[in-house]
Every structure is written in structure tokens, then in C-alpha cells.
Chain A
Amino acid sequence: MNRATGISHVTLIEYLSLERIVKRLSVLTVPADALTWHRFFGALLLSLLVLLFLSGAFMAFYYSPALGSAYDSVDYALFSLPFGGIIKGVHHYGWNLFLIVLGAHLVRAFVVSAYKPPRQIIWVSGVMILLFVPLFIITGDLLPWDQKGFWSTQVRLSIIGSIPFIGDLLVRLFQGGPLTGIVTLTRFYVLHILFLPGLLAFLILIHFHFIKNNGLSYSFSSDNYSTKTVRFFPVIFNRWLILFMGVTLVLGLISWYWPAPLGDPADPTDSSYVPRPEWWVLFLNQLVTIFTGSFSVVGSVIIPGGLAGLLIVLPFIDSSPERHPVRRKRVMLCAAIIAIAILALSIMGYLEHFSTPHV
């Protein structure tokens, strides 16, 4: 109440009826080590995700999802628009880093047994997020309508098409016709900017909901930080904000110095173009190369599907109460074998596709 005028001032928070939420946030406490260097990956992932959403939204202002103009609209945004190259670069390097950090987050969660009770659903939702991200990349790659995106999509659709029983149906759903054209571009665009972000946000909400209720993962830290608590707002929020600004700055600088690549415009008649696989699918690509003919389904579906299934059911098949990796020799050995196999296949793929001249 203003004493001079007698008019009561209503704050924006009151006006929007957000008092209860703000009050809950202001008293919310979380373990003090919720955002420390050894729990860095989750917060970094959230920073990258926010950056990807923001940069994607900015790019959508200038993107035209039509065959004749998609490439030119990306080219314009990249080279003619002030800061357009940086925004595109942040989006490009952001998802690459997102995948790496997501992998690191998963490895850390595995090593510290974060999938064990009572955190099984947190693990499963995390794995679902991991399996979900490639859909963003697959749909996003086509949008610039350049040679790499177009021909990579052709390869991916042919792999999807080799899935028994449902392969053709999936390809028809993605492609929207017999050829990769305007309907495919429209479907990929709608999936990329509308359906997939919505589903991802839902999965993240589930992930956070169970983290809040079931607690943070086990830590090997000896100082027992987790017994202390700090306020979420402003302590944790400010730490996250600093991290967010730091990541934005680093990715912005990288994008300024090494602009995001944009290949030649897609030419569906140029079948001589052989796309190089992305780094994250080198091992999958190598599996497809190894298993050919009637065994192709082994490389394209059975092994990748088996690995994904194994990750999802891990909390339910490893029921031992042991949490320290030294006392979980069997699980750690299995994981090491799989990791070495993935690394070896990736190196083989790299040597095949990157160390020899590309024609």
C-alpha cells in the first residue's frame, strides 16, 4: 500500500497467482552436492538442452521448410543474419556436446550404481532420454536440405526399412511417400520442433520428479556432502546460471571461430555422394557393414536393440546390493567388454570413412 496515494501495489507474481510456487521454490532445499564438480554432467546437460531449445527457436524464425527455399533460408541465417552463424553453431556444437555429456552422465551413473533401488525409474527415464536424442539428430539433419543431410537420411531410412515386419511402415511414416521430398521435410520439421521436444520435456520431467522424490545418486565422496542441504533458490540456481553462461560463452566462441558446416544443396539425382557417418553412429554403421545380406538385421536391429534393452532392464537384472565398482566385478567386466567393442567398432569405422580419401 502506497501511503501517499493509498493505492495497493500488486506484484507480477501476485498478479499471475504464482505466490505458492515461488514460496515453495524459496524454501526448497537440496543436498549441498547437487551441483558440484562430480555431479556436473546433469547440470551441464540441462544447460545444453536449454541452449538447444533457445537456438532452435531462434533458427525457426528464419527457416523455411520447403524444398526450394530450405537450403537458402539456412544459408541466409548462417551467413547473412547478424549472429546467425553463432546461433546455428551453438545448436550444431550443442547437440554434439549434449550426446557426449549424456554418455558421460550415463557412465557415471553406471559406475556409482545410480540405477539401483530406489532409483530404477530415474535410470530408465535417463536411458529413454538417451535413446530419444538420435531422433532429434535424424530429423534435424535433413532440415538444411543439403547433400549430407539428404543422403544421410537416405541411408538411415534404408536401415530403418530393413527392420523386419515394421520397417516399411516406419519408412512410410517418416517419408510420407515413395521418395524423400517435401512431405518428408515437413514431417521431420514438425517432429523436430514440436513432437520430439514435447516428449523430451515430458521424459525430463519424469526424470526430475523421481530425482526429487528418490534422491540423488550414491557418491564416493568422503566428506559426506549429501547430509548438508542448501537452498535451491538462489544457491543452486545461481550455480547453474553461471554454468549456463559459461557453456554459452564457450560454444559461442567455438561457433564464431569454426562456423557450423553447411554442405552443398541437396541433389537427389547425384547418387555419387556417399555420406560419412556421424561420430556417434560409427559403431552402428560398422555393425551394418559387418552383417550383410540376410544377416543385416543382426547389425541393424538385434545388436543395437539388445544393447538398448540391456540398458533399460539393467536395474532389474543387477539386483545385488553392492554399489562400489570394485565389488561389482561381473557387471563392470561386462560393461568394459561392451565399451571396448563399441570403441573398437568406432575406430574401425573412423579408419574406413575418415582416414582414406573420400570420393
Chain B
Amino acid sequence: MRKQKKFGFFICLILIFGILIIFNSQVAIAAAKQSVTATKVKNAPAGYDDPAWQKATAVNVHFEGKEIFTGKKTSVTTKAVYTDQEIYFLFTWDDATKSVTKGAWLYDGQNWSHQKGNEDRISLLFEINRINKFATKGCAVVCHVPEGAANAKDGKFGTKSAAEKGDLWHWKAARSDPAGFADDTWVTVISEKKGGRKGDAGKGGDTKNMTEDKSMPKYMLAPGNKLAKNDILLASHISEIKDYSVFKAGDMLTYRMPKMPEGSRADIKAVTRYANGSWTVMLYRQLDTSHDDDVAFNPRKKYNFAMALFDDSGDEDSYDSEVLSLQFGR
């Protein structure tokens, strides 16, 4: 009888502990925001078709258009997995047109002119150091439109103090993807004259292919090199054009030439595909790059982030997500 009582007592105690944990874990996930959970995988996915992605939970992240996209909505299917060393994101979204023009040069037989068209992009903003109210307001707190300005074109992107720092991952179909990267930048305090966007330490970004008078391209593909993805000319594969007579009507040349990134700017690698009217973009990075201009991911912690989608459009014309939560599964 005494043994039975003891047994019953300890069963009760275990139940109490169980309820305690379940209840507290429920309180912990009682957030209103959409949450992306990165699934732990043993082997890193080799690409966007890797079976590892089947283990990840897909989240349909909603985006609302602003400026020229005002009133429109879209969505991006988002997945995330992580290993002991790296984190991987997989984004898939419908886009009827693959936009990689970014003002490319077109020769009409007599003159060079810029083709109309921008590029498709997706960007993610994480906090490196806490950005005041980013957790509740998202990107709205880093987009500063001066009082009296007519639209976001007059605004600047940045934080209100130097202590607030954001990590901006910026995948660009024309300016970073051909190099196999997403542009790794960061956001800091806004100044009177300039916004707060900075490139990470190292080299990267893109360079303009034009002559001094801006009337024609200056560079062409160097002999022995190949054009990169989407027929984009990489800044590392060029030679100066000596004889413009080699071009014929209808020839095109890249205007914004991606540079091969180096240092902290080269942290985020990209593997992508455009097929059947949709983009599939896999971005991956070390969990902790040890760089001051990057967010360091600790799998025990939750992170707020927000995303923006650009459909053949400039910075001001985008689809923006609400603030999201990134957490790490076990």
C-alpha cells in the first residue's frame, strides 16, 4: 500500500512537470506573427531540389504591394533548414516574367541605348543589434520618409541610432545572382545626406559598364571567358572595347556588371532557378560568420526579420512582408 502511494505520488509529480513544460512552451509560441522554423538537418542541402528540403515546413509568407504595387498582394513560399555550421533558406514565388535587364545596353546599328527594364529581387532584413520597434513594426521603422514628401521615393533606408544595426541580405537577379551570391549589406544610422545602407567589409556589389560620356558601354567579354548566368557580363571577365565595329544591330551588353564578392560581403551564397513562371532561390550562410556586419544566429534564440520582393522594380516599388519570426527546430 505504501509503495503504491509512493508510485502514485511520483506519477503525479511527473505529470506536473509535463504540464508545466507543455504550458510554458505554449506561452512561448503565443506570437501573432508568422513564424519560419528552420529544421535541423544532418547533411546540408546541395541545391533547391535536395531531399533535405522535404523535412522543412513551408510557410506561405504574405506580401503587400506599395507605391506602384499598392493594392496588390503576393506570397513567397519560405523554408529554412540548418546544420551545425550553416543556415539555408529556400524561397519560391510566382513571377510571370524573368527580369534581369537592369538597363542593359542595346545596339541599334548606329547608337547604344539602355533597354527598359529592371530586375527581380528578394531581400531579408535581420537585426544585428536590436533596432527599436523592429520586432513589432518591421521594415517600417527603417524606411524614413521625410515630412511632406509625396512618396517613398523621397525616403531613405536606415536606423535612428548607430547602436541599431540591421543585416540586409539582398539577392538581385541581375547584379548578384550571376556571381552566385546575394549582396551582403548592413543598415546603420541614417544621416542628413545619405541613407544608412552600407556594403559589408570586403568587395562586392556591381560596377557600371559605360564610357566617360555615358553614351556607350566601355567593356565587353574578355577572350577566353564566358558570360555568366542570364548572359550577364561579370566585372571580373571583361576587357575594354577597342573596336566598336565588331558589334552589329541587336547586340546587347550588360550595364550593371556584378563584381565577385570578397570578405564579409561574400558570406551569402545563392543557388537559383527560374522556370515555369516562378523563381526558386536558395540562400545560405554560416550561422555565425564572426563578422561585425552580420547577424550571428544562435539556434536557441528566435530572430525577427522582414522581407521585401521586387518585381522588375526599383527600391521604392516593392512588395513588403510583415515582420516574421525565425526559430530553430531541434
Residues of A within 8 A of B (CB): 37-38, 40, 71-72, 75, 78-80, 85, 92-93, 96-97, 100, 147-148, 250, 254, 258-261, 263-265, 267, 269-270, 272-273, 276, 278-279, 354, 358-359
Contact = CB atoms under 8 A, between A and B. Distances in A.
Interface in B118-162: 130, 132-133, 135-137
A288 to B, nearest CB: 19
Interface in B5-40: 5-6, 9, 16-17, 20-21, 23-28, 30-32
A97 B16 CA distance: 8
Contacts, number: 74
Contacts of A354: 26, 30
Interface in B23-60: 23-28, 30-32
Contacts of A270: 133, 136-137
B242 interface: no
A270 B21 CA distance: 28
B298 interface: yes
Contacts of A97: 16-17, 20
B30 A269 contact: no
**Pairs of residues from A and B, 8 with the lowest C-beta to C-beta distance, nearest first:** A261-B28, A264-B135, A267-B136, A270-B136, A79-B301, A276-B30, A267-B133, A279-B23
Contact of B30 (A78, A265, A358): A358
Contacts of B133: 265, 267, 269-270
B304 interface: yes
Contacts of A80: 298
Contacts of A269: 133, 136
Contacts of A260: 24
A79 B130 CA distance: 14
B9 A37 contact: yes
Contact of B31 (A92, A93, A258, A263): A263
A85 B17 CA distance: 19
Contacts of B9: 37-38, 40
7 contacts: A71-B130, A75-B301, A254-B17, A259-B300, A267-B135, A269-B136, A354-B26
Interface of B: 5-6, 9, 16-17, 20-21, 23-28, 30-32, 130, 132-133, 135-137, 298, 300-301, 304
B221 to A, nearest CB: 48
A265 B130 contact: yes
Contacts of B27: 148, 261, 276, 278
Contacts of B304: 264
A119 B32 CA distance: 49
Residue of B24, B137, B301 with most partner-chain A CB within 10 A: B24
A355 B20 CA distance: 17
Interface of B is mostly: helix
Contacts of A254: 17, 21
Given A97-B16, A100-B20, A264-B136, A85 B300 contact: yes
Contacts of A250: 17
B26 A93 contact: no
Given A37-B5, A265-B130, 19 more contacts: A40-B9, A93-B24, A96-B20, A97-B20, A100-B20, A147-B135, A250-B17, A254-B17, A258-B24, A265-B132, A267-B135, A267-B136, A269-B136, A270-B137, A276-B27, A354-B26, A354-B30, A358-B31, A358-B32
A258 B19 CA distance: 13
Contact of A72 (B6, B24, B130, B298): B130
A72 B28 CA distance: 18
Contacts of B24: 92-93, 96, 258, 260-261
A167 B17 CA distance: 36
Contacts of A71: 130
B300 to A, nearest CB: 5
A273 B32 contact: yes
A78 B27 CA distance: 17
Contacts of A264: 31, 135-136, 304
A71 B136 CA distance: 15
A271 to B, nearest CB: 10
Nearest to B132: A265
A258 B24 CA distance: 9
A79 B298 contact: yes
Nearest to B301: A79
A72 B23 CA distance: 25
A273 B30 CA distance: 11
Contacts of B20: 93, 96-97, 100
A359 B135 contact: no
Contacts of A72: 130
Contacts of A92: 24
A75 B302 CA distance: 11
Contacts of B5: 37-38
Residue of A75, A148, A264, A359 with most partner-chain B CB within 10 A: A264
A354 B30 CA distance: 8
Contacts of A279: 23
